[in-house]
Structure 1
């Protein structure tokens, strides 16, 4: 029997296509958001609301609400603010202070070359970042990475998706949107828990080791492993 041909490449963004220390970046992200939101609510309430909303996203198990709806619902718990107030404040943050977080990232030297090379080979490109953020925030980070002009078929954002990695529902939703079986896709990422969970849907995985995050408790092993620069050569052997 001939092997099933891979038709789509799912790329993680943070730590895979762009260099960053995730802990440092998230710490600075929260600090910047707290400073920006202080015009709307006290800083201690903002910190609690962020933690509450992110926890709700990472642990949700149903698809009745988008990630944006879940985030807003839990962020606003116990406050007198409307969702419209919050959206206005978030838009202001992402259009201003958020852009300063670029200082905590660095473009991966081969990311642009690799994604364009694979597109040229006919692979469907899917930006499969964890959909914890609004679209304009993810597009901004793609710009920092230098991959914003690649021919992405889909970009995962919290407005359009209902689960987060490592929930297999995230990958099931992706496969349904592009009309492929798991065996026809390859997930490329640097996080052994979040990205390798694609294996639950029969998606083969490539663990990018450039900015490896491995807490030693993943239930899955990668099918392939190497630097991002090694990915094209790996695909010629599959």
Structure 2
């Protein structure tokens, strides 16, 4: 059984025609803010801000920040001036939009079945809305957060990429500390839900009355027996594609930033079990591996002809370098800088450079793309470790 399910929301769990929903949403939001900003000024800038979120590829900038960086300056107002009114809109007006959505009766039973089967569930909806807008739509669908313990809900407050970017799905995998082989994507939209997830190596299920042969599909009820069989299907990783590796390196950085956001000193240094690393030790380890292993290897492979790559016993560094006594935020800051440098180099190389050879002291002949795939898998291993370390 594949343990983790990513499930889309709109038109998968809840009938919600966006061509109907969005005009109503914009009209009501515009009217609610009209005493502060004229709707004919506010709505175009909201749409421009939404495009900024959809275009964002900066792992250090979450979608709320990408939106706010355009929206409020374009209107010539501070965020503080509009925040109270916007929050009031989502609390008092947004609930009225339920009337233009349709509850799918099968969604509730589907959710009960998969939770009873022991799956962990991510609501992998477009993160262009604040969390409250997504939580409310889950309630409209009959699958509220009060009834079901979702492991993750993607919203603009703590996600950095949007559908259909590969980075969106890579960030989810990073947050979970999971490989693509351990996850399934279930959704109704081939372009936004299925193709990017499949490109990352996930099994996918098309929720559609007449699913084309390109993807397994059918109703939500049909997904239940399919989930029981999916390990028998081939859904191999596409990690040999440069775009996939870049997505993982961006997504893993974004995941780390969300997971370590607002950690206090006691949590940074807390070890849940004897022998397990604390969050500060994990981040220090990632920092030093990026600084002393990953980035130098990239530079060496790109500059030398078939270079020799030494192996390192990096796990020893935690004790030898006394990571537990170091600053977590400082280590994170250095890791961000080094990972962004790695990404910057990889973004600029020619396609054929990914195949440049090297000789690893343990693995033997290798290539740049294989080395960077190992680095991405190493990230996920320690993101999973961090996820466990943050459980109280």
TM-score by length of 2: 0.56
Does structure 1 residue 166 correspond to structure 2 residue 164?
Answer: yes
Query: CA offset at residue 113 of structure 1?
Result: 0.7
In structure 2, the CA distance between the partners of 1:35 and 1:100, relative to structure 1 (3 Å rule), is same
Moved more, 20-29 or 74-83: 74-83
Whole-angstrom CA distance in 1 between matches of 2:192 and 2:33: 29
Does structure 1 residue 92 correspond to structure 2 residue 88?
Answer: yes
Contact 2:45 2:74 in 1 (8 A): no
Query: CA offset at residue 97 of structure 1?
Result: 1.2
Whole-angstrom CA distance in 2 between matches of 1:190 and 1:87: 33
Whole-angstrom CA distance in 1 between matches of 2:205 and 2:36: 43
Moved runs in structure 1, 4+ residues, more than 6 A? none
Residue number among 188, 191, 194 corresponding to 1:193 in the alignment: 191
Residue number among 226, 230, 238 corresponding to 1:234 in the alignment: 226
Contact 1:19 1:211 in 2 (8 A): no
TM-score by length of 1: 0.90
Query: CA offset at residue 86 of structure 1?
Result: 2.4
Structure 2: which 5+ residue stretches go unaligned?
A: 231-392
Following superposition of structure 1 onto structure 2, how do residues 25-104 of structure 1 map, counting pairs within 5 Å? 25-104=21-100
1:150-207 deviation per Cα after TM superposition (whole angstroms, max 9, x unaligned): 1211111110100000011111110011111011111011111110111121111111
Structure with higher RCO (Cα < 8 A, 6+ apart): 1
Structure 1: which 5+ residue stretches go unaligned?
A: 215-220
RMSD over aligned CA atoms reads: 1.6
Moved more, 147-156 or 161-170: 147-156
Residue number among 131, 138, 142 corresponding to 1:135 in the alignment: 131
Which of the two has greater helix per residue?
2
Partner of 2:204: 205
Contact 2:5 2:184 in 1 (8 A): yes
Q: Rg larger in 1 or in 2? A: 2
